[in-house]
Structure 1
């Protein structure tokens, strides 16, 4: 995340209480349960990087966004469980 080339938009699709417990700096919290209501916040031309706890919800979010016409989607496999970087609490 420190070396960005191009336009990236980072989404954490965990629920708000999970996000508050610890998240990656720069991630926007849009819970999977409300993703369809907040697509106006997600730029279509950017690379969308999606994370959750383990990779399951982010995979679901990527599929939802793909169906809505988003094309450049990255699912962070393993999610927060495998993240080794800094976490904001």
Structure 2
């Protein structure tokens, strides 16, 4: 069992609405992101996480997102293994997201 904290889609939506200092990272592929992303999300495909890690601040709070929550869990675990302390996984991924989308 992973130590990564799960965040429910409605909880994340409320944090975004409050302009919380939380960074959303969408690890899906380009064609998936074209179907819509969570507002404020930054697109970093899963395969590029290792090479873009130096662009992320370990002091920030992150929510990792993918289609169903599996790839984003892998990304979350990778960040935690590299010294990031405040990382969450979006429970159920975009399949469970009912909030606004940006294209």
| TM-score, with structure 1 as normaliser | 0.91
Which consecutive residues of structure 2, in runs of 5 or more, have no partner in the other structure?
1-15
- Gapped runs of 5+ residues in structure 1? none
Paired residue total: 88
Is it true that 1:2 corresponds to 2:29 in the alignment? no
Partner of 2:81: 67
Deviation beyond 4 Å, 4+ runs, structure 1: none
For residues 35 and 55 of structure 2, what CA distance do their matches in structure 1 show? 23
TM-score, length of structure 2 as denominator length: 0.80
Larger RCO, structures 1/2 (Cα 8 Å, 6+ apart)? 2
3-state secondary structure, aligned to 2:88: strand
CA-based RMSD of the aligned residues comes to 1.1
After TM superposition, give the deviation of residue 50 of structure 1 in Å.
Answer: 0.8
What secondary structure, in the 3-state scheme, does the structure 1 residue paired with 2:83 have? coil
DSSP-derived class of the 2:31 partner: helix
Aligned-pair CA distance for 1:4: 3.8
Contact preservation (8 Å) 1:9, 1:42 = no
